[in-house]
Each structure stands twice: as C-alpha cells, then as structure tokens.
Structure 1
C-alpha cells in the first residue's frame, strides 16, 4: 500500500507544480556540475548570480585549470567555503581532461570519483544534464519532506535515498527530488509548515502536528 500512497503523492505534486525544474542555471553538463558544487551551503539564487559571470569567463575544463587558485576563489567567494570549492573544481577539471577527454561522465560510478562530488551532486547532474535516473538526490528539503510524509525513518542521506528508491518508481526519481524541493520551499517549510494549505495533508502522517 505504501507504493500506492507514494504514487498518489507524486501524481498530486505533478499537477500542483507542472512546470517544476531545477533552479540552477546552466547550459551544459560541466556548468551544471560546477553550479551544483557551488550550491553546497549556498542558495541557488546566489549561485546563479555568481555563475552568470563565471560561465562567461570559463567555458571548458582547461579554462578552470589555467586560472590561478586565488582568482577562482575570488570569483566564487560569495558562495561560501570558496577555498575548498575552488580546489575541488580545479582538481576535477584536471581529472576530466586526464581521464574523460574533457567531458563530464554520464554515469554514477565515474562521477563520484571526482573531488567534491558525492551521490547527491551526481544524481542532480545525471538526471538534469543527461536524463538518467540512477538514484534520488537527497538535499535538506527532500530529507525533511520525505520524513514528514513517512517515507523514511533514516537521517543519513544515503540511507534515505535507498528508502525512497524502493518506494518511488524509477521513471520519477529525477522529478521526485524537484517536486519535494519545490513543495518544501513553498509549503512544507522547516520551521512552520503550512499544513492547512497543503494539498498532501490527507496523505501525510505529520499533517497538523506542528504548532
């Protein structure tokens, strides 16, 4: 019965958010990969502000390799953790050139070998840049909303992903993340979820439990 309930939830969310799409701006897999790395501990809006100029300056992995570390840090400073992010971006671009002919790999196994790329980032890139569903990206919104909906009891993102992959049809893995993020931002917010306005309140075990 759990699968039927989850299918109903997905159906309702698709009708509510028919235009749902990733909030990060990008025009190719490399841009999406870098934007996703920059989005760690940073808002998508701020990342888009930074990448508006960044993607004009650097278009290929070789461009990122050539730029001095300090200059790249200045370019991405406002996204936070800029030293580590710049280091990872430069190193992953070196690996792309050395091992993948300068192209972003289109499979989970290779993507997670890149610095700064764990399953969440890899899932975002695979789903949105390549149209491949190899898993479900679990960010803070997906973690919170899926728990409130009773889809998982776990707190570890990898374990949450495994729980969700058992419940959500493979064809919906990519859009499922986007739907929960949108719903988490607009209705099922962290501090004061709007349960009375929620289209899922009849299917949600947590509905109306928040003061």
Structure 2
C-alpha cells in the first residue's frame, strides 16, 4: 500500500515539475563549464545557503577557468572570493574550496575520491555534499542526498518518522524504490521551495495533498 502511495506521489511530482529548472549539480548536461566530480563538488559547496540562480552564475564564473584542483590552488583566496560573490558565506567557502582542493591533490592524487567514506574524511565535506558528488559526479545511484526539504517532506507526508537527515536517508532507502533515488533530491527540493514550504505550506494548491498526512503542519495556505 505504501509503495503505491509513494509511486503516485513521485509520478505526480515528476509531471508537475517537468519544466521546472533543475539545480546545476543535478543536470545531466552542463553548458559553459565541464561536468566532472570536481566541478560538481565545488558547485555543491557554493550552493549551501544560496539560491540556485546565484549558485549557477558563481559556478560558471569560477569554474570556466579554474575547473581542476591543480588550477584552483594557483589562485589567491581573495580572487576566489571575488569570483563567487554574492553566494552565502563566500569568504568561508573560498577558504574551504582552497583547502579541499589541496587535500584532493595531496591525499588523492588530484582526483575526487569515489568512495563516500573517503569524501566524508575530507574536512569541509558533509554527508549531503558527499552523496551529491557520488550521485551526480560519479554517477553512482546507490546514494541518496538528503537536505532539509528531503528530510521535512517525507515526514510531513507520513512516509517516515525521523529526527535527523541521516535517519531520513537510512529509512528512505528502505521504502523508496531505487528508480527514484537519482531524481528524489532535486524533485523534493523544488517541491519544498515552491509548495511544501517549511512554514505555512500551500496545501490548498498541492498536487499531492490527497496523499499527505500533514504531520506537524500547524498552519497552511
């Protein structure tokens, strides 16, 4: 019964967001810059606490020329700051990009590791970023990136009952058919940004409201 509900929700959302722009990291083809595990990693780092369009513009400015760890470490941190501004926390991110690039060169022979454990061992790379690099950089669909939307919405729908994104990842892997793993992140991020918002979600216009238990929804529109 639950699998049928999940299938219905996923199919409805895929149709609803078929023309909705995807975040840069989840697109199959990139323009202007090469798509590699390294550029996916850097773009993902830039995206944290930043709007998608700002992330994309900053990614293009930075990665058009500096799209390998070897080229990235040649430029001053201040130059990275200028290229990625106005992404959120741009000074912190510029330092992190330099530090991570240096670690990749020194520890992994200049190549972004294709192991989740190795990625997580690099200071500055969290679990969501590591999963995104595995899925969209290395094309390894055995991973499921979970951000705040991907954690909140399955709980709201009543699919799971979890406290942390890490718990959500574990529980969703048990019930979400693997065919949806690659599209789940960008689909639920789009849904969470536009309709199933953290506060006062747009329940009256929600395309999957008949499948939702509205867990922890105190006020909606």
With the length of structure 2 as denominator, give the TM-score of the two structures. Answer: 0.84
Counterpart of 1:112 (choices 96, 115, 120) is 120
In the alignment, which residue of structure 1 is the partner of 2:12?
A: 12
Q: How does 1:113-132 map to 2 (within 5 A)?
A: 113-132=121-140
Equivalent residue for 1:210, pick from 201, 207, 219: 219
Structure 2 partner of 1:171: 179
CA contact 2:39–2:68 (8 Å) conserved in 1: no
- Any unmatched runs of 5+ in structure 1? none
SS in 1 for 2:160: coil
The 2-side partners of 1:181 and 1:153 are apart by 19
Structure 1 counterpart of 2:3? 3
- Within a 5 Å distance, the mapping from 1:92-107 to structure 2 comes to 92-107=100-115
Query: What CA RMSD, in Å, does the superposition of the two structures yield over aligned residues?
Result: 2.3
Question: 2:128 touches 2:145 (CA, 8 Å); kept in 1?
Answer: yes
Are positions 1:194 and 2:197 aligned together? no
Counterpart of 2:59 in structure 1 is: 51
Structure 1, 16-25 or 166-175: larger mean CA deviation: 16-25
* Mapped partners of 2:187, 2:179: distance in 1: 14
Unaligned ranges ≥5, structure 2: none
Q: d(CA) in 1 for partners of 2:85 and 2:61?
A: 13
- TM-score where L is the length of structure 1: 0.88
Is contact 2:46-2:59 (8 Å) kept? Answer: no
Offset of residue 149 of structure 1: 0.7
How many residues matched? 211
Residue deviations 1:66-90 (CA, integer Å, cap 9, x gap): 1122322332242122232222211
Q: CA deviation at 1:46?
A: 1.0
